[in-house]
Amino acid sequence: MSRILVTGGGGFLGSRLVERLEGEGHDVVAARRSEHDLTSMQDTERLFAETGPELVFHLAAEVGGIGANRANPGRYWYANLIMGAHVLEQARLHGTPKLAIVGTVCAYPKLTPVPFREDELWNGYPEETNAPYGVAKKTILVGAQAYREQYGTNAIFLLPTNLYGPGDNFDLATSHVIPALVRKMIESPAEIVLWGDGSPTREYLYVEDCVDGLVAAAELYDGPEPVNLGTGVETSISETAELVAEAVGFEGSIVWDTSMPNGQPRRSLDPSRARELFGWTARTPLREGIARTVASFRAAVA
């Protein structure tokens, strides 16, 4: 049994990770913003002093879809950068044995060759609509590697692709592609309007598969290099809409608003490093994961 701290422990991914770790018998502290504001060094120090963790999963983030990123570029840059810096510094000061930091696929350059390989991370600037968020997260990777070199901090850095699944954020102002599609199609069965032209591609990772990857990395990986967590399956936004429509039973029309941005042109990760370094492979097919997501949303609003 270990004493484990999960920042962002009340969030979509964090709550699933906490549930998994508690089920394995660990002593888990789920840090929530209402109790500890990680943009405050004082609050972050208090959190580490109170918990004395042997392992930290840093999942806390301020994040959303294209609209939320366009509305909050300064906030997303500042909050994500400063939270990561504070967690790294307090892990150093408290001698935390291991720190697993969750980054973002948005850190990759806009025109990264597909599939995205970790070695391409610095070969260009991220897609403009989410660049402040992506750059902030990527800067934490630099910090983790620098702390490892100077202080011996065992901090690993993981790059999950777009997450989805039951319990996702379905708020249309801040949600990502799949939960937004699910809600729109259920609430507006005649017609929905989607941004862009449907051509961009995305890769989706079922939340439970991501939890498996985080746990496997924490147990088996101790290196400085970032590691992708993804499926390697590239799906266009229009194809995603068709899959969600099938799961929902949506028979209305889809209107593409081409005056709005497409976002990243293509996005799909090379997951081979995770498989080679700690034996992790995503297992949930997209159609099956979407069906579970739809069912969970309907149950929540029933």
Catalytic residue of the set 76, 78, 125, 133: 133
Question: What kind and span of H or E run contains 248?
Answer: helix 237-248
Reported residue count of the chain is: 302
Residue 95, Cβ density class (10 Å: 0-12 exposed, 13-18 middle, ≥19 buried): exposed
**How many angstroms separate the first and last alpha carbons of the chain?**
39
Question: What kind and span of H or E run contains 213?
Answer: helix 207-220
Assess whether 108 carries a catalytic annotation.
Answer: no
Please give the DSSP secondary-structure letter assigned to residue 125: P
Q: Looking at the chain, which runs of residues are DSSP E strands?
A: 3-7, 27-31, 55-58, 98-102, 155-160, 162-164, 191-195, 201-202, 204-206, 227-229, 235-236, 253-257
Q: In angstroms, what CA-CA distances link 141 with 84, 101, 124, 170, 268? A: 9, 8, 16, 29, 20
User: What's the CA angle centered on 287, arms 20 and 58, to 5 degrees?
Assistant: 30
User: Which residues are identified as catalytic?
Assistant: 133
